[in-house]
Structure 1
Amino acid sequence: MTDVLILGGTGWLSSRIARRMLVNGATVMCLARGGRPSPEGASLALADREDPTAYDAVSGRDWDHVIDISSTAAHVEAAVAVLGERAARWTYVSSMSVYSDDTAVGADETAAVHSPAEPGDEYEYGAQKVAAENAVRGLGERALIVRPGLIVGEGDPSDRFGYWAAAFARAVDGPVLLPRTEGRDVQVIDVDDLSEFVATTRAIGVVNAIGDRHPLAEVLATVRRSTGHRGDTVMVDDEWLIENGVEYWAGERSLPLWLPADMTGFMTRTNARYRAAGGTLRPLDETVAAVIADEQERGIDRDRRAGLTRAEELELLQRRG
């Protein structure tokens, strides 16, 4: 039986990885601060990774597979230092945000990355992930570094992809505000496809785990059709959105999936190595249907971490005239 240690295991992605490992017949232990339960069938070791003794409860044995998703380099470095020699395999879930060039279309895993974060630096997500990757690289051929792009699916806590399901569903037969879509693309990976890959692949090295490239217009049309939206769509220029306080990509008062026009490489990277390593991708329609059902269940008018409220959207549409 495979003994798996997941550093985390109670969050959105890591709990899915744990459940997939359990289905595979593995024995799974999650190391987390608590507050959320571990998946049924997995054991839980309570620990705060800020504590130097965080790994004491799990460092006295060998592990067939250690999986880490932390975005704090110091946590990853400490885990590798304590547990690295006890792990037959180590998977680190990094991010496409490590890449420093967001303009080159079709870039692969050899593309340049940001400078790694140093102790005392102001927190920057991409730089932290690079430093964490560097720690894991020291494990050599026992290590896999997975770089997902935008992860989407049921329960997504970022609210980015799900914003569009909510926007079309809540409008019913009213108008929906869209950014210009010409020349823009979208790449996403379903959380269940990503967790399946992490749990089953034997790949080593670095793998971009991301979906196929789709035109933004096609993605928004798929979501609109799937929600049954019957109203108009109002497409406006980037300059007008910026002048009216709408943000790119994420956060309050934003239009998710909308990126600056010069970020041509951010959502157009190659996933050839992911495919070659056995990674699968469900049809976009299937992911969209799951997201719509999830948004309906959680409430399309709830407070969100990304996007416009309906009141903000209507005010902007009225201002646009």
Structure 2
Amino acid sequence: MPQRCAILDDYQDVALAMADWGGLAGAVEVDRFADHVEGQEVLAARLADYDILLAMRERTAFGRDLLARLPKLKLLLTTGMLNAAIDMQAAAELGITVAGTRGTVGPAAELTWGLLLALTRHIPAEVANFRAGGERWQISVGSGLKGKTLGVAGIGKLGQLVAGYGRAFGMNVLGWSRSNTPERSAALGIGFAASLDELLAVSDIVTLHLTLTPETAGIIGRREIGLMKAGAIIVNTSRGPLIDEPALIEALENGRIGGAALDVFDREPLPADHPFRRLANVVATPHLGYVTEETYRVYFADAVEDITAWLAGSPLRVLNGVDAARARR
């Protein structure tokens, strides 16, 4: 009898077209779901009969309670090699193998810059006015980037790419991370901020490229926003919970900062009545940082490879230390 596999949160209905799933025919039956489901009861009912699940990044959370209610689940795949929404320890204790896929870094950095330009040049509003045939040919006055200070919080692979874009636009780029040094910044051709507070205080634009951990959750709160220049803007394409969302909304509503460019949120999909959907000084996208054809082709091809290897008893890219011998039978 073939294993059953469910692909979750395939919003664009593209997963089956992005890889060759034909090699699994006869061994695995594949279903896909385009809608996003929340709530443990609904998820448990929908997924109870599946042996294999493929989660798209962190769109669906798999905590201990939900995993325990999926008795047939043997292999849980996540696109990418990090997924804070999966309780890895619980999966290991339950004998569920968790495996990942390779990914790409560039698209998220590119989107960061696209959002930054969209906000500083009021591109969404101008496009909407243009399409609507507005009475006024131009409705805004944007601001340039040359000579401005770009503060990059987190200078790993993504942060380094964005820092490079800032240099190419003639910006004064500063980098900060807890492990950064003056020597490392010098090697990257950027300035060194000794602390996050310093970075926030001197930057015209702050962009976040930090990994979400218990230590970094809420790292930008009301106090930190208060340190920013009046009129400064913040960009977040990493993870929503890095910023205290109510504090950011308050600062945007009262004009304490100039604006925010966002691709990530505390809750996704974002509720229809959320303030970020109405604030004129917010430019936002629905977590598109990694959503490119090139990235998807890597994700889904690797997922097929992961399933094939797991069926053969030699799982690849295992993230929680569960091997075939310990996995659920």
Task: State the TM bucket, normalised to the shorter chain.
Answer: 0.3 to 0.5
Q: TM-score, normalised by structure 1?
A: 0.38
Q: TM-score, normalised by structure 2?
A: 0.37
Structure (1 or 2) with the larger CA radius of gyration: 2
